[in-house]
Amino acid sequence: MKNRNIYIVIICSLLIIQILLYPKECISYTLFGAKLFFYSIFPSLFPFLVISNIIIAYEGVKIYANVFGNILCVPLRLPKECSIALIISFLCGYPLGAKYCFELYEHNVIGYKTYERLLNIASNPGPLFVVGAVGTTMFHNTYLGYLLLASSYISCFLISFCIPNSPKVLETIKPQVSSIKPKNIGVIIKESVDNSISTTLYVGGFVIIFYVLTSIIKNNAIFSIVLNKISIFLGLPLDMIQGTLLGLLEMTNGCFLLSTSNGDFLTIACITSFLITFSGISITAQVYSFTFKLKFNLKTYISYKFLQGILSSITCFILVKLTYSNESILTFSNLGNSSSNSFLFALLSLILVFPLIIYMTKKLLDVS
């Protein structure tokens, strides 16, 4: 413990020195992180959090479990009570999936084994970030955003088969007895707003501090030397290596750097797909902030997210190869032709409709 304290103090002291040496860059990245929070993260997270908290206050978990439980949870080998956390994870993205996994366990809806499995699955990027921020804003192509989103969601389904499943996941669900007394709608809205503000500010703090750390690393002479050595050794563009390494720390900044890279499309798309799904240390820290009370195994979580990132990257590679038969046209400028969009639309439709087809077929067989 004493050695750990010494190491942390030394690292923080070095960070302070670096901030004093490059105050302009640190202030610039702080403002950039704050701008990202106020203009992107807060507007997208806050209203969604308020509404989600109101839904949970009115026992929306039971309603969602009855309507979507079998369709969403059976393919992922989870009890139907997990459906609301999965929906929030798919619609809103990091780190809300982890937050509502904890909410389900805290309200005695699911057991701990179920919570462990659910948290490793219900932790995905949101469509607004992938399609809007990465695809449309950074790479200036919406089609790429849909391709990355499809890769991430397919990898989520695949990772559910890689995570060992225990019978206790279904057996140890706690009795879902409502202990919430009826409240006035005004009280519920107030509590939902208070909870949502604290959560969004929490996320904003992580975003800003990791943007500052990114600035410090980028302006460090040692990092520049290491970066040049890796670039020469691998024979890859310097900006691609920089985007990949910094993306492991903070995903958003890494994706932005990759969008300005001079590398080939296929490599950049696969690396971006990995970073989006893996999420980086910044998102992992946000997830851990919701799970540390339960002594959750962070190493296991990171291992599965890394594996899911690899699966997402492989899926992205396959989707690109299926979409484009001629490698000479794999450039950002010509993405988005009608045939490619039609193919991806059909693929996404199949992914969304497939669980419903399985569910309806099972119902018909049971009736007959």
User: Tens of pLDDT along 274-332?
Assistant: 999 998 888 888 888 877 777 778 888 899 999 999 999 999 999 888 876 544 344 44
Give residue 351's Cα distance to chain centre. Answer: 19
Distance of alpha carbon 149 from alpha carbon 359, whole angstroms: 24
Decide if 118 contacts 100 (C-beta within 8 A): no
Q: What is the reported pLDDT for 170?
A: 53
Decide if 134 contacts 332 (C-beta within 8 A): no
Q: What is the reported pLDDT for 327?
A: 44
Neighbours of 178 (CB within 10 A): 11
Position 95 pLDDT exceeds 90: no
Which pTM was predicted? 0.76
Q: What is the reported pLDDT for 326?
A: 47
User: Tens of pLDDT along 236-260?
Assistant: 788 888 888 888 988 888 888 888 8
Q: What is the reported pLDDT for 34?
A: 84
Residue bearing the bigger pLDDT, 69 or 262: 262
- Token pair for 333: 């400028």
Q: What is the reported pLDDT for 250?
A: 84
CA dihedral of 310, 169, 164, 362, whole degrees rounded to 10:
-80
Distances (CA, A) of 364 to 51, 240, 251, 357, 368: 35, 52, 45, 11, 6
Q: What is the reported pLDDT for 115?
A: 86
User: Tens of pLDDT along 145-192?
Assistant: 888 988 998 898 888 888 877 655 554 454 444 444 556 788 888 888
